[in-house]
């Protein structure tokens, strides 16, 4: 019940962030700005409007989270060929262009708001908040600090997408001369530094609340500010932005200045490492930690908790995401649409056994690409291709699910599956839904049957479009108690923007890049692994009976690969991998292969477990590493230059 009670808190935040009387400011100042700051209530509305421009982490058609290689949505023409749906997938299929950009965060359009408009609104707020007569000094200082961090976040988000951007420190006057309005893009390091400088200024002043009371969770505090600074500096230190002469040696501004640094600077990793350590320290000091489930077992799992080897770890992982405002959440997206549909929780949830023809709030069509089945570790905590005990060459071979304590509660004993679905780590079973697996949703432990004309989970006459097109579902964003048919039956939670596991993995990455392999790195990785029931890195990679590449963790390159894999698994489906792959400069490795899945028209194991190519993906290097500047803006401002390849 705890998770459902939290809906009250969410509703308050949602109302704060979704008011209809938004701060409407147009360039010619026809709106009387002063009237929007006449009193505290109107100023609070202005503050909520500054938050309104945050990228949407909940709605799949408006979220960057579908960009990458993890998700596969509906493949029928009504969705797959509609530019306005599953937009992130359209980016990966090469549909983006400068005439009509998808996710046009630069100018607005393509499913998103302009972040520059958001920055202008933040500037208007900062210029006028001093005029509010009935604000206490403490409130005024805290609100100013929040908006400055949001302004930093919007600049950073633009930089991550577009590289060099126009920095908007102050709004221009309506009567500013044309030459002042036509500003140039700044070097990418200057853009990162500007965002970090805003956050440093806020932290130095000390006006920002250290943490938020339960009624204001989701609003920026010092923990969030330091975590955001850590992510910005990690991104700045990464290969895409740190001395990238391979891609951007000829990328210059209108004045001929190089917009990317050409020389690698190792000290950027040290800056990131120090910032990550500060973020972890303040979070831990305020009770943040990796989530572990210590509640009463759900009624259907009382016996499993006594006997299953993995259920505690699987519960840890499942509830670390869906338990609202648990201790692991550093920054959660709380601008949720409570009564509407279209969120990841709706699109991924399977139809209810009790109401199989009811699609509302359980769409049953957004699933995972086949590569996600292969990405997760074996039960020994290493990749399937590196584990000597895993039959990798025969991983697609049919086999019978054993009646043992390891698979108890997560796979159906005696049923037929492929070897690929057995002897995997707990996160595999907690977050992925596979044929002949078990999915806890609608307050029931459902035995999945995902072959043709089977239910629950399969494709058939009742589900001609609403089925998992790859035959692989995703449990990660569905609370086990979530129902269907009405918004009030869906358990809502803040979608993770930054959580503690992310910070620990950031620390491991930055430490390895600067110092190389060390126990500090192993300890950070092992915190995340231990929560999921996995052995320590230094132990398993020293065990010649398990790993093929003994000692892989002892070299910077080997440990880097381990860290990248750990991030890709732990943060899977959360919208992190796309940006990670880009900053690592590894898109050619991940984003050029087609999306695959099982033959969902197969009615028996031999037919169903045939791997099929479902959709091709398109990626051009270096063009697609940066989003296109809208052509209309380039024509309006001749001082702007387009990103390479667009």
C-alpha–C-alpha distance, residues 200 and 212, integer Å: 19
What is residue 127's predicted lDDT score, i.e. its pLDDT?
A: 96
Q: What is the pLDDT of residues 450-490, one digit of tens each?
A: 999 999 999 988 788 999 999 999 999 999 999 999 999 99
C-alpha–C-alpha distance, residues 90 and 227, integer Å: 30
Same domain, 87 and 40: yes
Burial class (CB in 10 A: 0-12, 13-18, 19+), 184: middle
What separation in angstroms does the CA of 126 have from each of 49, 143, 279, 463?
13, 9, 26, 52
C-alpha–C-alpha distance, residues 551 and 569, integer Å: 21
Q: Which two tokens stand for residue 320?
A: 């670390």
Concatenated DSSP letters of 224-278: HHHHHHHHHHHHHHSTTTSS-HHHHTT-B-TTS-BSS--S--THHHHHHHHHHHH
Taking only Cα atoms into account, the Rg of the chain, rounded to an integer number of angstroms, comes to: 25
Q: Which residue has the higher pLDDT, 77 or 215?
A: 77
Same domain, 40 and 105: yes
Contacts 24+ apart (CB under 8 A), 532-541: 532/313, 532/316, 532/317, 532/425, 532/426, 532/427, 533/310, 533/312, 533/313, 533/425, 533/426, 534/377, 534/380, 534/381, 534/425, 535/380, 535/381, 537/562, 540/380, 540/381, 540/382, 541/382
Whether 28 shows a pLDDT value over 60: the answer reads no
Same domain, 286 and 305: no
- Find the helix packing angle between 188-205 and 137-162, rounded to 10°: 160
What is residue 461's predicted lDDT score, i.e. its pLDDT?
A: 81
User: 89 and 83 in contact (C-beta within 8 Å)?
Assistant: no
Residue 4 counted as domain residue: no
Q: What is the pLDDT of residues 99-136, one digit of tens each?
A: 999 999 999 999 999 999 999 999 999 999 999 999 99
Q: Which residue has the higher pLDDT, 20 or 463?
A: 463
What is residue 357's predicted lDDT score, i.e. its pLDDT?
A: 87
Whats the size of the chain, residue-wise? Answer: 646
Whether 364 shows a pLDDT value over 70: the answer reads yes
Same domain, 370 and 282: no
Whether omega before 622 lies within 30 degrees of 0, making that bond cis, reads yes
Same domain, 270 and 348: no
Q: What is the pLDDT of residues 310-349, one digit of tens each?
A: 999 999 999 999 999 999 999 999 999 999 999 999 999 9
Residue whose pair of structure tokens reads 């930055």 in the numeric block:
510
Same domain, 358 and 216: no
- Could you say which of 492, 514, 530 is where a domain stops? 492
Residue 604 counted as domain residue: no
Same domain, 306 and 285: no
**pTM as predicted:** 0.94
Q: What is the pLDDT of residues 58-82, one digit of tens each?
A: 999 999 999 999 999 999 999 999 9
Query: Quick one: the chain helix, strand, coil %, rounded to 5?
Result: 45, 10, 50
- Could you say which of 492, 516, 536 is where a domain stops? 492
Within its chain, how far is the Cα of 50 from the centroid? 21
Whether 284 shows a pLDDT value over 60: the answer reads yes
Same domain, 305 and 283: no
What is residue 176's predicted lDDT score, i.e. its pLDDT?
A: 83
Same domain, 208 and 174: yes
Q: What is the 3-state secondary structure (H, E, C) of 322-367?
A: HCCCCCCEEEEECCCCCCCCCEHHHHHCCCCCCCCCCCCCCCCCCE
Q: In this structure, what DSSP letter does residue 472 have?
A: -
Mean pLDDT of the chain: 93
User: Mean pLDDT throughout 18-46?
Assistant: 64
Same domain, 312 and 257: no
Which residues have a Cβ under 8 Å from the Cβ of 138 and sit 6 or more positions away? none
Number of domains in the chain: 2
- Could you say which of 492, 524, 556 is where a domain stops? 492
Evaluated on CA atoms 86, 88, 91, 93, the torsion sign reads negative
Nearest to 502 by CA among 415, 592, 576, 392: 576
What is residue 173's predicted lDDT score, i.e. its pLDDT?
A: 84
Domain range for 222: 16-293+627-636
Which residues have a Cβ under 8 Å from the Cβ of 184 and sit 6 or more positions away? 166, 253, 254, 255, 639, 640
C-alpha–C-alpha distance, residues 258 and 251, integer Å: 6
524: confidence class by pLDDT, cuts 50, 70, 90 = very high
| Number of Cβ atoms within 10 Å of the Cβ of 272 | 27
Nearest to 483 by CA among 440, 432, 517: 440
What is residue 36's predicted lDDT score, i.e. its pLDDT?
A: 86
Q: What is the pLDDT of residues 397-447, one digit of tens each?
A: 999 999 999 999 999 999 999 999 999 999 999 999 999 999 999 999 999
Residue 514 counted as domain residue: no
User: Please, which residues bridge with residue 219 across strands?
Assistant: 217
Q: Which residue has the higher pLDDT, 235 or 460?
A: 235
What is residue 11's predicted lDDT score, i.e. its pLDDT?
A: 27
Residue 564 counted as domain residue: no
275: CATH: 1.25.40.390
User: Mean pLDDT throughout 611-629?
Assistant: 97
18: confidence class by pLDDT, cuts 50, 70, 90 = very low
User: 559 and 552 in contact (C-beta within 8 Å)?
Assistant: yes
C-alpha–C-alpha distance, residues 212 and 216, integer Å: 6
What separation in angstroms does the CA of 18 have from each of 163, 304, 456?
30, 42, 35
Whether 638 shows a pLDDT value over 90: the answer reads yes
């Amino acid at each position: 019940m705890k998770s459902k009670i939290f809906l009250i808190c969410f509703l308050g935040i949602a109302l704060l962030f979704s008011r209809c009387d938004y701060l409407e400011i147009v360039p010619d100042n026809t709106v009387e700005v002063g009237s929007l700051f006449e009193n505290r209530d109107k100023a609070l509305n202005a503050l909520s409007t500054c938050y309104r421009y945050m990228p949407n982490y909940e709605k799949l058609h408006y979220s960057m989270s579908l960009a990458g290689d993890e998700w596969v949505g509906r493949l029928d023409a009504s969705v797959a060929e509609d530019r306005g749906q599953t937009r992130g997938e359209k980016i990966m299929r090469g549909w983006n262009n400068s005439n009509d950009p998808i996710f046009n965060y630069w100018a607005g359009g393509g499913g998103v708001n302009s972040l520059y408009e958001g920055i202008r609104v933040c500037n208007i707020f900062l210029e006028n908040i001093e005029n509010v007569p009935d604000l206490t000094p403490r409130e005024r200082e805290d609100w100013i600090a929040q908006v400055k961090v949001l302004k930093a976040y919007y600049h950073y988000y633009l930089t991550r997408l577009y590289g060099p951007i126009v920095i908007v420190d102050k709004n221009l006057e309506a009567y500013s001369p044309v030459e002042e309005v036509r500003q140039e893009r700044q070097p990418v390091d200057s853009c990162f530094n500007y965002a970090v400088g805003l956050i440093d200024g806020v932290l130095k002043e000390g006006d920002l609340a250290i943490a938020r009371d339960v009624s204001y969770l989701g609003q920026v505090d010092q923990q969030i500010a330091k975590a955001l600074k850590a992510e910005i500096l990690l991104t700045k230190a990464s290969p895409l932005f740190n001395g990238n002469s391979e891609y951007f040696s000829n990328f210059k501004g209108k004045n001929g200045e190089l917009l990317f640094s050409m020389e690698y600077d190792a000290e950027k990793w040290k800056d990131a490492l120090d910032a990550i350590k500060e973020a972890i320290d303040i979070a831990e000091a305020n009770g943040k930690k990796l989530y572990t489930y210590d509640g009463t077992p759900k009624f259907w799992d009382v016996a499993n908790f006594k006997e299953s080897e993995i259920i505690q770890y699987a519960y840890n992982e499942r509830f670390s995401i869906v338990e609202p405002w648990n201790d692991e959440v550093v920054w959660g997206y709380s601008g949720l649409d409570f009564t509407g549909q279209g969120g990841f929780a709706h699109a991924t949830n399977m139809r209810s056994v009790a109401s199989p023809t009811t699609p509302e709030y359980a769409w049953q069509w957004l699933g995972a690409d086949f590569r996600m089945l292969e990405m997760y570790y074996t039960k020994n905590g290493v990749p399937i291709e590196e584990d000597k005990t895993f039959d990798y060459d025969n991983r697609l071979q049919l086999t019978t699910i054993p009646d043992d304590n390891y698979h108890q509660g997560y796979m159906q004993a005696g049923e037929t599956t492929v070897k690929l679905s057995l002897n995997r780590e707990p996160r595999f079973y907690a977050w992925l839904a596979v044929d002949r697996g078990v999915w806890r949703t609608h307050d029931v432990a459902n035995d999945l049957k995902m072959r043709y004309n089977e239910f629950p989970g399969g494709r058939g006459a009742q589900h001609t479009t609403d089925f998992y097109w790859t035959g692989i579902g995703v449990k990660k964003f569905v609370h086990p108690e979530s129902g269907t048919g009405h918004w009030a039956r869906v358990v809502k939670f803040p979608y993770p923007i930054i959580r503690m596991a992310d910070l620990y993995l950031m620390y491991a990455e930055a430490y390895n890049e600067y110092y190389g392999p060390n126990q500090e790195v192993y300890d950070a990785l092992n915190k995340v692994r231990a929560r999921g029931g996995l052995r320590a890195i230094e132990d398993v990679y020293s065990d010649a009976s398990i790993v093929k590449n003994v000692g892989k963790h002892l070299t910077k390159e080997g440990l880097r690969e381990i860290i990248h894999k750990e991030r890709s698994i732990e943060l899977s489906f959360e919208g992190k991998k796309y940006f990670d792959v880009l900053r690592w400069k590894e898109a050619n490795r991940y984003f050029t292969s087609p999306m695959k899945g099982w033959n969902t028209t197969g009615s028996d194991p031999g037919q169903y477990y045939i791997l099929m190519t479902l959709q091709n993906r398109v990626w051009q290097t270096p063009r697609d590493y940066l989003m296109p500047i809208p052509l209309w803006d380039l024509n309006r401002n001749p001082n702007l230059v387009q990103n390479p390849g667009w």
